[in-house]
């Protein structure tokens, strides 16, 4: 009996020793942290022993792979630069102009390589459909994010939203005050979208806005598709993908896009102004998520802590986007009031499609869009 027990104990100790040595051999344990931490399963900074320990672990990794974050999108250029400067971690920005769906494909294709994306910035439809790819994580100020803006375990979290706006070249076209204005002769060959609504979230939202502005609801995008069909018949729709370059060259004089994108152009192109139509405003959050196969798991988690900190959230405001902790920051007086007053508060009736509405609209667009603008 006694013998058996010692044998059992010895076995346990041996097993523990093997496990522990296995752990310490492949984990880059930062100095000052207590014990071994598996960053890939950490669901909060507490797992590291606090934010400071997380910072140390992330610095030890030294790199962060981000994907689909254009410098001129919601001020990401400044946000990435500040992260690098603050933590001394190199941000590798891959494929800035790809779609949310392609981010997930990249995670699939690059799985196991050290160039795989650590974090995602995704439209809601793709985020909801791809939860298998995410590792849950709750940032320190988790409580400041309203419940309806996050998945309960932290698989994905709403981060920032824009309002669907209309940018226009004030030097050559008058300010549009309603959708009907855009059908007039002033806007011949001028009105563009940022992408194809059957592919790109921003263009999808533009059709949604046109639907609600035409008196419809998000349950049925038909009025929106019809509006762009009429626009095309009037010769006012230009089927060019609007970019900063097409705006600067004067090819796309009126552009439906997120307020932060249009505002980013306004700061560089002379005469470019941004307006929103009175009535319903269409908003849609972009989401943050950590890849469960992140090659730099600690840096990925630090990136989340950073993005939801007032510092980065205020940078979103500077870039023309509305961050998810805006209310909490307003209450705590940490909000950059100058930046906020520059972009104006979101007003009017805010509409955002539900998952069901998005799917219905996607099916409708897939079958009707090409014909409407063909």
Q: Which residues pair with 322 in a beta bridge?
A: 161
Nearest distance from residue 341's CB to another protein, in Å?
32
Closer residue to another protein, CB minimum distance, 30 or 201: 201
Q: Single out the residue of 64, 106, 107, 125 in contact with another protein (rule: CB under 8 A).
A: 125
How would you classify residue 112: left for phi > 0, otherwise alpha for psi between -120 and 50, otherwise beta? left
**C-alpha to C-alpha distances, 183 to 67, 197, 272, 340, nearest whole angstrom:** 38, 20, 20, 33
Residue 238 sits in the site that holds another protein (CB under 8 A): yes
Could you say whether residue 216 binds another protein (CB under 8 A)?
A: no
Residue 145 or 193: the one with the smaller Cβ distance to another protein is 193
Burial label, 8 (beta-carbon count in 10 A; 0-12, 13-18, 19+): exposed
Q: Please state the closest distance from residue 176 (CB atom) to another protein, in A.
A: 19
* CB 50, CB 56: distance < 8 Å: no
Rounded Cα distance, 93 and 228, in Å: 35
* Secondary structure (3-state) at 100: helix
Query: Residue 202 and residue 53: Cα distance in Å, rounded?
Result: 38
Stretch that binds another protein, among 82-90, 145-153, 211-219, 247-255 (CB under 8 A): 247-255
Tell me if 354 contacts another protein by CB under 8 A. Answer: no
From 107, 164, 193, 326, residue interacting with another protein (rule: CB under 8 A): 193
Query: In this complex, which beta carbon is closest to another protein, that of residue 107 or of residue 335?
Result: 107
According to DSSP, the residues that pair with 272 across neighbouring strands are 169
* Number of residues located near another protein, criterion CB under 8 A: 44
CB of 259 to another protein, least distance (A): 19
CB 83 to another protein: min, Å: 25
Cβ(318)–Cβ(193) below 8 Å: no
Q: Residue 371, interface with another protein (CB under 8 A)?
A: yes
Kindly state the DSSP code that residue 255 receives in the 8-state scheme.
E
- 186 scored as a contact of another protein (CB under 8 A): no
d(C-alpha 287, C-alpha 300), whole Å: 14
Asked whether position 196 contacts another protein by CB under 8 A, the answer is yes
251 binds another protein per the rule CB under 8 A: yes
Concatenate the DSSP letters of all residues of 348-373 into one string.
S-EE---HHHHHHHHHHHHHHHHHHH
* Among 19, 109, 177, 367, interactor with another protein by CB under 8 A: 367
Pick 166 or 203: Cβ nearer another protein: 203
Residue from 117, 167, 201, 319 binding another protein (CB under 8 A): 201
126 is an interface residue for another protein by CB under 8 A: yes
Q: Decide if residue 101 touches another protein (CB under 8 A).
A: yes
Q: In the complex, what is the shortest distance from the CB of residue 349 to another protein, in angstroms, rounded to a whole number?
A: 23
Half-sphere exposure of 174 (CA within 13 A, CB side): 9
Q: Which residues pair with residue 257 across a beta bridge?
A: 165
Read off φ and ψ for residue 94, nearest 5 degrees.
-100, 150
State in angstroms the smallest separation of the CB of 186 from another protein. 15
Q: What is the rounded distance in angstroms from the CA atom of residue 309 to the CA atom of residue 300?
A: 14
Interface residue with another protein, options 95, 186, 220, 241 (CB under 8 A): 241
| Cα–Cα dist 204/354, whole Å | 13
Q: Is 274 helix (H, G, I), strand (E, B) or coil?
A: strand
Residue 179 or 193 having the CB closest to another protein: 193
200 sits near another protein (criterion: CB under 8 A)? yes
CB-wise, 126 or 343, nearer to another protein? 126
Tokens encoding 172: 């050559």
Q: Are the CB atoms for 331 and 146 separated by under 8 Å?
A: no
Q: Given the rule CB under 8 A, which residues bind another protein?
A: 98-102, 105, 122-123, 125-126, 129, 188-189, 193, 195-201, 204, 232, 235, 237-241, 249-251, 358, 361-363, 365-367, 369-371, 373-374
């Amino acid at each position: 009996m006694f013998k058996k027990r010692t044998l059992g104990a010895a076995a346990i100790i041996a097993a523990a020793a093997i496990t522990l040595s296995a752990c310490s051999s492949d984990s880059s344990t930062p100095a000052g942290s207590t014990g071994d931490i598996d960053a890939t399963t950490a669901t909060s900074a507490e797992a590291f022993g606090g934010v400071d320990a997380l910072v140390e672990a992330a610095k030890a990794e030294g790199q962060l792979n981000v994907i689909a974050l254009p410098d001129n999108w919601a001020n990401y250029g400044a946000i990435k630069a500040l992260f690098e400067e603050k933590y001394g971690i190199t941000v590798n920005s891959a494929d800035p102009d790809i779609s949310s769906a392609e981010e997930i494909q990249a995670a699939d294709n690059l799985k196991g390589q050290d160039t795989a994306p650590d974090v995602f910035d995704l439209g809601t439809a793709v985020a909801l459909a791809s939860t298998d790819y995410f590792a849950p994580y709750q940032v320190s100020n988790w409580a400041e994010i309203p419940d309806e803006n996050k998945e309960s375990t932290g698989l994905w979290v709403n981060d920032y939203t824009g309002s669907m706006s209309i940018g226009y070249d004030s030097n050559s076209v008058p300010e549009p005050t309603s959708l009907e204005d855009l059908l007039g002769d002033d806007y011949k060959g001028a009105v563009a979208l940022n992408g194809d609504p059957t592919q790109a979230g921003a263009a999808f939202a533009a059709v949604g806005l046109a639907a609600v502005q035409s008196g419809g609801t998000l349950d049925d995008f038909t009025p929106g598709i019809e509006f762009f069909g009429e626009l095309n018949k009037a010769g006012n729709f230009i089927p060019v993908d609007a970019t900063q370059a097409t705006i600067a060259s004067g090819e796309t004089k009126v552009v439906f896009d997120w307020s932060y994108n249009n505002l980013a152009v306004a700061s560089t192109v002379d005469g470019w102004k941004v307006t929103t139509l009175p009535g319903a405003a269409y908003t849609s959050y972009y989401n943050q998520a950590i890849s469960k196969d992140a090659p730099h798991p600690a840096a990925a988690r630090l990136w989340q802590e950073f993005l939801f900190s007032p510092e980065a959230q205020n940078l979103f405001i500077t870039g023309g986007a509305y961050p998810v902790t805006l209310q909490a920051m307003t209450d705590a007086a940490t909000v950059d009031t100058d930046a906020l007053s520059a972009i104006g508060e979101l007003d009017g009736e805010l509409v955002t499609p539900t998952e069901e509405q998005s799917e219905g609209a996607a099916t409708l667009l897939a079958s009707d869009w090409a014909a409407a603008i063909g």
